[in-house]
Structure 1
Amino acid sequence: MGYRNLQECVKDLEAGGKLLRINHEVDAELEAGAIQRRVYQAGGPALLFTNVRGCRFPILGNLFGTLERTRYIFRDTLKDMERLVAMKVNPRAAVKDPLGFVGTLPAAIHLLPKKVSSGPVMEMQTTIDQLPQLKSWPDDGGAFITLPQVYSESAATPGLRHSNLGMYRVQLSGGKYRPNGEIGLHYQIHRGIGVHHAEALERRLPFRVNIFVGGAPSMTVAAVMPLPEGMPEISFAGLLGGHRLEMACRNGELPMAAEADFCITGIVDTDRALPEGPFGDHLGYYSLAHDFPVVRVEKVYHRRDAIWPFTTVGRPPQEDTSFGSFIHEITGPLIPTVIPGVRAVHAVDAAGVHPLLLALGSERYVPYAGEREPQELLTIANAILGQGQLSLAKYLFIGAQEDNPALDIHDIPAFLRHVLERVDWRRDLHFQTSTTIDTLDYSGSGLNSGSKVVIAAAGNKRRELPSILPGDFSLPSGFAAPRVCLPGILAIRGPRCTTGPNCPDPVVEDFCRQFGQSHPLISFPLVVIVDDSEFTARTLNNFLWVTFTKSNPASDTYGIGATDVSKHWGCTGPLIIDARTKEYHAPPLIPDPAIERKVDALGAPGGVLHGII
Structure 2
Amino acid sequence: MAFADLREYLSYMNKNNKLIEIDSEVSTDLEIAEITRRATYNRLYPLLFTNVKGYPNWKVVSNIFYSIKGIYDVLQTNDLEGISKRFLEGFSEMPVTIIDKVRSLRDVLKLGKFTPRAKKPSFKESNLKLTDVPSLKTWPKDAGRFFTFSITITKDPESGVHNLSVYRIQVLDEERAIIHWQAFKRGSIAAMRYKEKGITKVPIVIINGVDPAIAFTAASPVPVGLDKYLFAGIMRGEGVEVTELDNGIMVPANAETVFEGYVDVNEVREEGPFGDHLGYYTPKDYFPTFHLTKSFSRDNPYFHVTSVGRPPLEDAWIGKGVERIFLPFTKMIVPELVDMNLPEYGVFTGVGIFSIKKYYPGQAKRAMMAIWGLGQLSLLKFIIIVDADVNVHDLNEVVFALSTRVDPQRDVMIVNSVLTDSLDFSTPSPPLGSKIGIDATRKFKEETGREWPEEVASDPSVAKKAEEIISQIKSRYPHV
TM over 0.5: yes
Change (3 A) 1:170 1:336: same
Corresponding residue for residue 48 of structure 1: 48
Change (3 A) 1:347 1:216: same
Out of 287, 290, 298, the residue aligned to residue 285 of structure 2 is: 290
Whole-Å separation in 1 of the counterparts to 2:396 and 2:261: 48
Change (3 A) 1:107 1:33: farther
- Secondary structure of residue in 2 paired with 1:59: strand
Whole-Å separation in 1 of the counterparts to 2:385 and 2:121: 49
Q: Which amino acid aligns with 1:187?
A: W
Out of 180, 192, 199, the residue aligned to residue 198 of structure 1 is: 192
Corresponding residue for residue 567 of structure 1: none
TM-score by length of 2: 0.84
Corresponding residue for residue 69 of structure 2: 68
Change (3 A) 1:425 1:140: same
The structural deviation recorded for 1:203 is 0.3
Corresponding residue for residue 132 of structure 1: 134
- Secondary structure of residue in 1 paired with 2:127: strand
Corresponding residue for residue 23 of structure 1: 23
Q: Which amino acid aligns with 2:266?
A: D
Change (3 A) 1:70 1:384: closer
Corresponding residue for residue 340 of structure 1: 335
Contact 1:225 1:233 in 2 (8 A): no
- Secondary structure of residue in 2 paired with 1:236: helix
Q: Which amino acid aligns with 1:60?
A: V
- Secondary structure of residue in 1 paired with 2:72: helix
Whole-Å separation in 1 of the counterparts to 2:255 and 2:377: 30
Corresponding residue for residue 394 of structure 2: 411
Out of 153, 178, 182, the residue aligned to residue 184 of structure 1 is: 178
User: For 1:151-230, what aligned pairs fall within 5 Å after superposition?
Assistant: 151-158=153-160, 162-173=161-172, 179-205=173-199, 206-230=201-225
- Secondary structure of residue in 2 paired with 1:141: coil
Deviates more, 1:50-59 or 1:352-361: 352-361
Task: State the Cα deviation string for residues 393-449 of structure 1 (Å, max 9, x = none).
Answer: 1121222x2xxx431111122112202211111212211122221011000112312
Out of 140, 143, 146, the residue aligned to residue 141 of structure 1 is: 143
The structural deviation recorded for 1:147 is 0.8
The structural deviation recorded for 1:87 is 5.8
Whole-Å separation in 2 of the counterparts to 1:457 and 1:79: 29
Whole-Å separation in 2 of the counterparts to 1:284 and 1:79: 31
Corresponding residue for residue 33 of structure 1: 33
Deviates more, 1:7-16 or 1:105-114: 105-114
Give 5+ residue unaligned stretches, structure 2. 93-107, 444-451, 456-480
Out of 435, 438, 442, the residue aligned to residue 459 of structure 1 is: 442
Whole-Å separation in 2 of the counterparts to 1:287 and 1:444: 13
Whole-Å separation in 2 of the counterparts to 1:455 and 1:63: 35
Change (3 A) 1:39 1:347: same
User: For 1:424-443, what aligned pairs fall within 5 Å after superposition?
Assistant: 424-443=407-426
Whole-Å separation in 1 of the counterparts to 2:75 and 2:285: 37
User: For 1:277-426, what aligned pairs fall within 5 Å after superposition?
Assistant: 277-365=272-360, 375-399=362-386, 401=387, 405-426=388-409
Whole-Å separation in 2 of the counterparts to 1:244 and 1:428: 46
Task: State the Cα deviation string for residues 211-235 of structure 1 (Å, max 9, x = none).
Answer: 1111111110110222223321112
Whole-Å separation in 2 of the counterparts to 1:140 and 1:33: 12
Runs of 4+ with >4 A deviation: 77-81, 89-92, 105-108
Contact 1:345 1:409 in 2 (8 A): yes
Task: State the Cα deviation string for residues 34-58 of structure 1 (Å, max 9, x = none).
Answer: 1111112222121111111112311
Contact 1:149 1:211 in 2 (8 A): yes
- Secondary structure of residue in 2 paired with 1:327: helix
Corresponding residue for residue 11 of structure 2: 11
Task: State the Cα deviation string for residues 329-373 of structure 1 (Å, max 9, x = none).
Answer: 32223321122322223222202221212122243235xxxxxxx
Contact 1:262 1:303 in 2 (8 A): yes
The structural deviation recorded for 1:281 is 1.0
Contact 1:284 1:315 in 2 (8 A): yes
The structural deviation recorded for 1:84 is 5.1
Whole-Å separation in 2 of the counterparts to 1:72 and 1:222: 15
Whole-Å separation in 1 of the counterparts to 2:235 and 2:86: 15
Greater CA radius of gyration, 1 or 2? 1
Task: State the Cα deviation string for residues 69-119 of structure 1 (Å, max 9, x = none).
Answer: 3312322x6779726514626968xxxxxxxxxxxx999634111124x41
Whole-Å separation in 1 of the counterparts to 2:207 and 2:167: 11
Whole-Å separation in 2 of the counterparts to 1:448 and 1:81: 31
The structural deviation recorded for 1:191 is 2.0
Whole-Å separation in 2 of the counterparts to 1:329 and 1:191: 22
Give 5+ residue unaligned stretches, structure 1. 93-104, 174-178, 367-374, 465-613
Whole-Å separation in 2 of the counterparts to 1:80 and 1:327: 9
Work out the percentage of aligned pairs sharing the same amino acid: 27
Q: Which amino acid aligns with 1:51?
A: N
Change (3 A) 1:25 1:187: same
The structural deviation recorded for 1:4 is 0.7
Whole-Å separation in 1 of the counterparts to 2:109 and 2:219: 25
Whole-Å separation in 1 of the counterparts to 2:257 and 2:300: 10
TM-score by length of 1: 0.66
Q: Count the aligned residue pairs.
A: 431
RMSD of the alignment, in Å?
2.6
- Secondary structure of residue in 1 paired with 2:13: helix
- Secondary structure of residue in 1 paired with 2:112: helix
Whole-Å separation in 1 of the counterparts to 2:79 and 2:109: 13
Task: State the Cα deviation string for residues 464-513 of structure 1 (Å, max 9, x = none).
Answer: 9xxxxxxxxxxxxxxxxxxxxxxxxxxxxxxxxxxxxxxxxxxxxxxxxx
Change (3 A) 1:300 1:197: same
Change (3 A) 1:221 1:190: same
Whole-Å separation in 1 of the counterparts to 2:246 and 2:402: 58
Is 1:112 paired with 2:107?
no
Whole-Å separation in 2 of the counterparts to 1:114 and 1:90: 21
Contact 2:136 2:146 in 1 (8 A): yes
Contact 1:348 1:354 in 2 (8 A): no
Contact 2:323 2:342 in 1 (8 A): no
Structure number with greater CO (CA < 8 Å, separation at least 6) is: 2
Whole-Å separation in 2 of the counterparts to 1:42 and 1:31: 17
Contact 2:183 2:189 in 1 (8 A): no
